[in-house]
Amino acid sequence: MNFNNGSPTIVVLKEGTDKSQGKAQIISNINACLSIQDILKPTLGPLGSDILLSDQTNKTIITNDGATILKSLDIVHPACQILVDISKSQDMEIGDGTTTVTLLACELMKESKQFLEEGINSNLIMKSYNMALKKAIELIKSDLSVKIDTSNENEEALRDLLEKCAKTAMSSKLINSNSKFFVNMCVDAILTLDRQHLDLNNVGIKKVSGGSMEDSLFVKGVAFAKTFSYAGFEQQPKYFTNPKILSLNLELELKAERDNAEVRIEKVEEYQKIVDAEWKLIHDKLELIKNTGANIILSKLPIGDLATQYFADNGIFCSGRVDPEDLNRVIKAVGGSIQTSVSDLKPEHLGTCGIFEEKQIGNERYNLFTECSNTKTCTLVLRGGANQVIEEVARSLNDALMIVKRSLQLNSIVIGGGAIEMAISKRLRDYAKTIKGKQQLMINAFAKALEIIPRQLCENAGLDSVELLNKLRMSHSVNQGKDNAFVGINFQIENIANNFESFIWEPMSNKINSLQSATEACNLILSIDETITNKQQGDEGGNIQGIRGQGMGM
C-alpha cells in the first residue's frame, strides 16, 4: 500500500492490503454488529423461539441461550467478536441475561449511528454513554432495587424467595413447562452448599438418556456412573449402610510393580522369586487396605482384576478410574482424604456416609453416596428423550443455579418483564433535562435504547408492542415513588402489571452487569476508527493485521 501526502511515494504495506478508516469504518462495524442482533432478537423472553444450530459434523444444538448461540456461530468479523466476549462474560459472571446484554449493546450502537452520521465525534458519544451508565447504576442501587431477607432465621421464607428468582430465570427456557419441578431441584442444590462460598463446582451434573425430564433426580450427596470394572466385580456387595470409605490415588495392578525395572537372572528359580515378590507386594497392599476396615475403595487410577477379585472375596466394593472431580466431591461429602500410599493408613483418612448403593438409572448403573453427615455437595442426574434436550436442560439449570446463587449472595432484586428498563429510561430522560449541550441528546438516546427489551418481549409474544410500550411509558410517568419501577409486561394477562406482585424477579447484579458490559462493548466499537486487512495468498477473506482505536488506548 502506498501513502502519498504530496511527497514521494513510500511503500509501507504489501500490495493488496486493504485499509479502512474514519467515520465510515465505525458505521461499518456497527452494521456488522446489528446483523448479530437480528439473529438473537427472536430468542428473547419467555415466549422467544429456539435456534437450531448444525455444524459440519451434523452435530445439532437447539437452544435460545445467547452465549451458546454466539459461541456456536462461526463469527469472523473482528468487531462482532466483542459481542461474543461480553455474552461469555455475562454467562460466567451471572449465568442469565446473555441475550439481553447483546441486544442492549447493539441497540446502543444503533442509537449512536445517527450522531456519527451528523458529524458528532465518537468520543463525545462515549462520554455521554458513560454518564448515563453511571446514573443508571446509581438509580438501580438507590431507588429501583428491593432488598430481600436471606438470613438463616426463616428457611421457609428464604426458600420461597429463591424459588421465585429461579422461576423467572427458567421462564424463557425449554424447562419452563416443568419449572415447578426444576425450581425445587435448583433451590435444593444451592441450599445444600456451604452458605459462605456457594461453590457451584460442588454441584455435579450427570446426563442419562431416556425417560422424561421429570425423571431427573436430585441426589443430596454424590452420584457417578459405574466405572470400568474387571471380572469379579459382580460378586462384590452393592449396598452398604454406614460404610467406611477409602479414597486412593494409587494403582492396584500387577503391572505397576514391574514398570521401568530391569532385572538380570541366571537361573529359572530366580525368575520365580521375582514373580512371587511381585505378587507379595500387591497382596501386602491389599491386606493393608482390608485391615483398615474399609467397605468401599475408590481410586483415581485403575484397580486390576486381581485386586477386584480379592475385594469381592472379602466383601468390599471397589471402583477404579473414578473421575477426579467426582472423587473430590466424594471427599467433601463423606470426609477423609485421598491417599497416595497404603503404608500409613489411619482411621481419620477414611470417610463415611449413611447409605451407599449401586442403582440402575436408565441404561446406566450409578454409584450413589447419600445421607452424608457433612454434605456440602449434591448431584443432579438429568434425564430426557434426546441428547439435545438433556444438553439444553443442563444449560438452563446452570443459568438458574447462577441466578439463585447471586440472589442469595447480594440480597437485592429488581423487577423483570421490562419493568426495570422502563424505570431507568424514564429517570434518565428526566436526568437529561438537567444536562446542557449535545450530551442531553445522547443520554436520551441511551434511555431510548433500553426500550429494546420490553419492545422485543412483546414482539416475540405476538403482542402489540406499540400499544403496550405507550401504556408502560404512561404508567412510569404518572405513578410516582418506588412502585412505578414495578410495572412491566406480564405475559399471563398479556398486558402491563405490577411484576413485583407477580414475582417476576431478577438479581440486581444481573441488570448492573448487563448495562456495564453492553456500554463497554458499545464504547469499544465506537473507539475503533481504522481497520487494516492483509489479504494473504489463498486467503479471500483476509486476516486482520491491525485495529487502531481512539480515546480508549486501542
Q: What is the CA radius of gyration of the chain?
A: 30
* Fold assignment, 14-146+415-549: GROEL; domain 1 (1.10.560)
Rounded Cα–Cα distance for residues 75 and 130 (Å): 28
Mean pLDDT of the chain: 84
Per-residue pLDDT at 545? 41
Per-residue pLDDT at 538? 47
CATH code 1.10.560.10 region(s) in the chain: 14-146+415-549
How do residues 288-329 score in pLDDT, each as one tens digit? 999 999 999 999 999 988 899 999 999 999 999 999 999 999
How do residues 318-346 score in pLDDT, each as one tens digit? 999 999 999 999 998 898 899 988 888 88
How do residues 3-15 score in pLDDT, each as one tens digit? 455 556 665 556 5
Residue 519 is a catalytic residue: no
Average pLDDT over residues 416-432: 91
Report domain 241-363's class: alpha beta
Better pLDDT: 423 or 20: 423
Residue 143 is a catalytic residue: no
How do residues 81-93 score in pLDDT, each as one tens digit? 899 999 998 888 8
pLDDT at 239 over 50: yes
How do residues 438-493 score in pLDDT, each as one tens digit? 899 999 999 999 999 999 999 988 888 899 999 888 888 875 555 667 888 988 88
Rounded Cα–Cα distance for residues 434 and 110 (Å): 24
Among 160-164, 261-265, 361-365, 414-418, the minimum mean pLDDT is found in: 261-265
Residue 99 is a catalytic residue: yes
Among candidate residues 43, 63, 68, 98, the one labeled active-site is 98
Among candidate residues 43, 63, 68, 99, the one labeled active-site is 99
Tell me the backbone φ, ψ of residue 146, rounded to 5 degrees. -125, 125
Q: What confidence category does residue 101 fall into, taking pLDDT thresholds of 50, 70 and 90?
A: very high
Q: Alpha helices, DSSP H only, in 94-241?
A: 98-117, 122-139, 155-170, 179-192
Could you tell me the three cell numbers for 344? 500409613
Right CATH for 152-220+380-410 from 1.20.1270.10, 3.40.1160.10, 3.30.56.10, 3.30.260.10: 3.30.260.10
Total residue count of the chain as it appears in this document: 554
CB 281 within 8 A of CB 231: no
Per-residue pLDDT at 124? 93
- Side-chain half-sphere of 55: how many Cα atoms within 13 Å? 8
Residue 462: alpha-carbon gap to chain centroid: 29
pLDDT at 372 over 70: yes
Per-residue pLDDT at 541? 43
Average pLDDT over residues 201-217: 89
Short-list 161, 322, 168, 194, CA closest to 247: 322
CATH code 3.50.7.10 region(s) in the chain: 241-363
Better pLDDT: 176 or 246: 246
Q: What's the first-to-final CA gap in the chain, in angstroms?
A: 22
Rounded Cα–Cα distance for residues 409 and 274 (Å): 61
* Amino acid found at 473: R
Long-range contacts of 387-392 (CB under 8 A, 24+ apart): 387/207, 387/209, 388/60, 388/61, 388/62, 389/62, 389/174, 389/213, 390/207, 390/208, 390/209, 391/61, 391/63, 391/207, 392/62, 392/63, 392/65, 392/173, 392/174
Per-residue pLDDT at 7? 56
Q: Are strands 364-370 and 355-361 parallel, antiparallel or unpaired?
A: antiparallel
Among candidate residues 65, 91, 96, 529, the one labeled active-site is 65
How do residues 505-539 score in pLDDT, each as one tens digit? 888 888 999 999 999 999 999 988 777 666 655 44
542-544-549 Cα angle (round to 5): 145
Q: Are strands 60-63 and 51-54 parallel, antiparallel or unpaired?
A: antiparallel
pLDDT at 175 over 70: yes
Rounded Cα–Cα distance for residues 237 and 419 (Å): 58
pTM listed for this prediction? 0.79
Q: What confidence category does residue 547 fall into, taking pLDDT thresholds of 50, 70 and 90?
A: very low
Better pLDDT: 360 or 539: 360
Per-residue pLDDT at 259? 55
CATH code 3.30.260.10 region(s) in the chain: 152-220+380-410
pLDDT at 400 over 70: yes
Among candidate residues 168, 399, 529, 533, the one labeled active-site is 399
- Could you give the 3-state DSSP secondary structure of residue 396? helix
